[in-house]
Amino acid sequence: MIVTRELILMLLPVIVLQLGLAVYCAVKILTEGVQNLNRWVWLLICLFINLIGPITFLLVGRKRDL
């Protein structure tokens, strides 16, 4: 059985990628504002849904004013 420490070590690149995205999105949400959904909902989506969460936010949640 692989011990947890080893597992985390193996997952480190994925964790870094995921965390980096989440933080980047969180900063965007708090500084630039959002659209389509409430900002706290977006924050939860970005923090708790792997990969797809932040990407969904970046595609449809970012504030765009023409």
Partner 1 sequence: MITVKNLTKNFNSFSALKGINLRVKKGEIYGFIGQNGAGKTTTMNILAGLSRPTKGSCLVNGKDVTKIKHPSELHIGYLPEAPRFYPWLTAFETLEYLGNSGGRRVAAARIKELLDWVGLSEAVRRRVGGFSRGMKQRLGIAAALIHDPELLIFDEPASALDPEGRNDVLNLIKKLKNMGKTIFFSSHILSDVERVCDTVGIIIAGKMAAEKPLPEMLKEDILPSYDITLQKPIDSGILDKLSQIQGVSKVTGNELNLSVMTDAFFDTSLLFKFFVDNKLAVNSFARRQNRLEDVYLQEVNTNDKQS
Partner 2 sequence: MINSLRKEIRYGLRNNTFLILFAVFFFFAFMTPVMLKILPEVLKSKFPGFPLQELVNMTQLGCLQSYMGDVLEIGTLLVSLALCGLLAQEIRDNTLVLPLCAGQSYSGIIAAKMLVFGTAVLLIPLAALVTDYLYAGLLFSFDTGILPVITGGLLQGFYMVYLLSLLLLFGTLTKNPIATALLTLAVNYGLYFAGSLLDIHRYLPSGLLREAQQLQNTIPLQAAVITLAIIIACAFLASRTLQTLEWSKK
Site string for partner 2, 5-24 (x = CB under 8 A): --x--xx-xx--xx--x--x
The closest of 2, 49, 1 to 21, measured between CA atoms, is: 49
Contact between 64 and partner 1 by CB under 8 A: the answer reads yes
Cβ-based nearer residue to partner 1, 5 or 64: 64
**Under a CB-based contact definition with an 8 Å cutoff, are residues 29 and 42 in contact?**
yes
Contact indicator for 43, 26 with CB cutoff of 8 Å: yes
Least CB distance to partner 2 at residue 52 (A): 8
Enumerate binding residues for partner 1 (CB under 8 A): 64-66
